[in-house]
Amino acid sequence: MARKKKTVKKVGPAGKYGARYGRKTRENIKAVLKEKGAKHPCPKCGKKSLKRDLAGVWKCRSCGTRFTGGAYKPETSMGQLARRAVLSQTPMIKEEEA
Ligand SMILES: [Zn+2]
């Protein structure tokens, strides 16, 4: 085999941590980093072209929509909870979800 920088499927994006921090910790961070790097469906146009712009900021590559969400995924369960609380306090605003 040629000498080449190895990328191992098993460790995925957590490979940058090498042998450090323990297996379980790296497994956990792998799940988070995968969400962070993956393309998600856009809430506006529905296309799977939502990418993380900055921590907590998500941008659709297709329609250009930019909005805030979770640091590592577009929507967190805590975010949903907060929105529900806000909506229940403001009866004028209707939720625009399908
Ligand atoms: Zn979009």
Ligand 1 centroid vs 41 CA: distance in angstroms?
A: 8
Of 92 and 37, the structure prediction assigns the larger pLDDT to 37
Ligand 1 centroid vs 55 CA: distance in angstroms?
A: 18
Q: What is the pLDDT of residue 1?
A: 54
Percent of the chain's residues with pLDDT above 70 = 88
Ligand 1 centroid vs 36 CA: distance in angstroms?
A: 17
Q: How confident is the model at residue 65 (pLDDT cuts 50, 70, 90)?
A: very high
Ligand 1 centroid vs 22 CA: distance in angstroms?
A: 38
Of 11 and 71, the structure prediction assigns the larger pLDDT to 71
The residue extents of the domains of the chain are: 12-89
Ligand 1 centroid vs 48 CA: distance in angstroms?
A: 8
Q: Residue 79 — φ and ψ, nearest 5°? A: -65, -40
Q: What is the pLDDT of residue 8?
A: 62
Ligand 1 centroid vs 58 CA: distance in angstroms?
A: 10
DSSP secondary structure letters along 20-85: -S-HHHHHHHHHHHHHHHS-B--TTT--S-EEEEETTEEEETTT--EEE--SSSS--HHHHHHHHH
The model's pLDDT over 20-41, given as tens digits with 9 standing for 90+, comes to 999 999 999 999 999 999 999 9
Q: Considering the domain delimited by 12-89, tell me its CATH architecture.
A: Single Sheet (2.20)
Q: What is the pLDDT of residue 95?
A: 61
